[in-house]
Chain A
Amino acid sequence: MKLNNFEKDQIQKAFDSYEVPEDYFDFLEKKILNNTIHKRKNISNKILTTSLLSISIAILSIIIYINNKNTYQDIDNFSKNYHFSILSNDSNLYVLDDKNKILYLNIDSNETSVINVLNELNIPENQKNSIKLNFKLLKNNLIAYNKDKNIESDKTSSAKIKNEKMDITTSLYMPREICSEKPILLSPSIPNIEQYNFKWSNGETGNKIYISESGTYSITITPINDQTSKPLYATTKVRILPPPTDISPKHLSGCVGSEVTLTLNIDTSKYEVEWMNTNKKSKSINVSTPGVYVAKIIGCQTYLDTFVVSFYHCDVIIPNAITPNGDGVNDRFEIKNIEKYPNTQVYIYSNDGKLIYQSKNYQNDWDASDVRAGTYMYKIIFQDKISQNGTLLIIK
């Protein structure tokens, strides 16, 4: 069965009615290439993009909301050991060294005062130049950013202004490291946030992510309307470190001549530890002298864990009750093995704190003959300054 020429013409005409927009096939080809071949290239470009970050202009910044306080943006990574930081609370500009020591620079600082500060820092000449350059760029961008923020808050902002915003959106920055005691919300702060696609390293695609676990998080941002532009990529290392749970002062005791082990109840793979006055950095230390021992636990903040350590002569046995009735048993306040410790002082106090007996060289000879029955307190001080307190019940 075949179609005649009229029928063929009609069919041809009907299907010729389908049209495509002008230059559609060129557009189609570009679009497909962007989603196939070039997409793959972009992934390998990410590494390059990351390394370019340090020399490109900072405009996108990241706002981190930590417990609704200390909201800050951090624009950094401009040189190997130093980075700038902007705290939105006061809009001041800071330069931090590798130990996060703050070397203050005001946003209104002129170049001379920048140079003065840089000279104080004692950093190599080549780095100084890069810092100066970055300070300039950062300052300009901060001004642009603040201007931008004002524009954004203006509801009547026009499309023309939106275009200006797009032009300065050239690069994306995130703080290199974040440490927070509570889960954080990490979110880029960009003008016209709805015009971008977000892809986080954990697979999420929202414009903010809730981070409750430590790890390295990165974000790739592409403008929705412009698939051809290079994606912006940034990465940040997030540590979520709750405060140590067990840092109330602890009392420990041991026998003279032995060691007491002080152990911190934390995961030392996450927290940095430093025992004060010893410089030891281990989870536990052994001590053999009485005293107060303090460990610095450094998480996102520094905490102190205190141990009060006392030592006893464990071979000395002190009775807690005596019965001075002349039957030969427990008639005197007899401290076993006291003969090993000459010049031991013994003090007996009544319930109301009155000293009723004392000896500078006790010889197990107090029989409580001059006091009434009741509860008394004793204090024993050995020659080596170790002391022991307790209560003594006198039964008559």
Chain B
Amino acid sequence: MTDPSDSYIISLFSNSETKTEGFKLLLKKYKEKVYWHVRRIVISHDDANDVVQNTFIKIWENLDNFHGDSKLYTWIYRIATNESINFISKKKSALFISIDELNENFLDHLKDDANFKGDDIEINLIKAINQLPPKQRLVFYLRYFSNMSYKDISEVMHTSENTLKSSYHQAMKKIKKFFSSTY
């Protein structure tokens, strides 16, 4: 079964009787995409689980505020991205360590993580990508994994397309540098 179109889902929101049906379709269509997007940012499954639930609760609570002037999926990604970043900064302030240290921390635990099957090669690559500045990392994730256009990413991140292009370029450069130094 193919996923229903966003415009069909949006049309259901306008009526209070079909609103729940619309949300169910939205959840079915986006739960995995949102989960993986969040997981890449927060890394551990347990944290991603929390953030994704909060994301969809927020989406449900704010459905009435969604007027279709932005695309449904960039709206969803924006909420998910914001929730993830908020989560990380909360965690960071709770632990009183820098975000880099925090990444180190997450990544050190990756090996023992029951929901991570990679070995040192995979961990080192993820570590390298996580050392990218947050903005470059987000652009990379959205563009590379979610196949988003710069226009859509600029809606998600509230950043101009040119800045995003340059961030993506920087990210690629660093990743390529990592590969050339490793292999």
Contacts and interface: CB of A to CB of B under 8 A. Distances in A.
B126 interface: yes
A19 B116 contact: yes
A15 B126 contact: yes
A1 B144 CA distance: 13
Interface string B14-42: 00000010011001100110011001100
Contact of B116 (A2, A17, A32): A17
Interface residues of B, number: 38
A13 interface: yes
Interface string B137-157: 000000011000000000000
B131 to A, nearest CB: 14
Contact of A31 (B40, B53, B60, B175): B53
B176 A3 contact: yes
Contacts of A20: 35, 45, 115
Most buried by B among A18, A31, A33: A18
A32 B123 CA distance: 31
Contacts of B60: 32, 36-37
Contacts, number: 88
Interface in A1-35: 1-3, 6-7, 10-11, 13-21, 24-25, 28-29, 31-33, 35
Contact of B169 (A1, A11, A28, A29): A1
A206 B111 CA distance: 40
A14 B118 contact: yes
B122 interface: yes
Contacts of A13: 118, 121-122
Nearest to B127: A14
B126 A14 contact: yes
A19 B117 contact: yes
A324 B160 CA distance: 117
A28 B49 contact: yes
B56 interface: yes
Interface in B78-127: 115-118, 121-123, 125-126
Contacts of B31: 25, 28-29, 32
Given A1-B176, A20-B45, A32 B53 contact: yes
Contacts of A6: 179, 183
B87 to A, nearest CB: 16
Contact of A17 (B23, B49, B53, B118): B118
Contacts of B40: 15, 18
B47 to A, nearest CB: 12
Nearest to A13: B122
Contacts of A36: 23, 56-57, 60-61
A153 B3 CA distance: 56
Contacts of A19: 45, 115-117
A11 B144 contact: yes
A32 B40 CA distance: 20
A19 B113 CA distance: 10
Contact of B176 (A7, A21, A25, A35): A7
Interface of B: 20, 23-24, 27-28, 31-32, 35-36, 39-40, 45, 49, 52-53, 56-57, 60-61, 115-118, 121-123, 125-126, 129, 144-145, 169, 172-173, 175-176, 179, 183
7 contacts: A13-B122, A14-B118, A14-B122, A28-B31, A29-B28, A32-B31, A36-B57
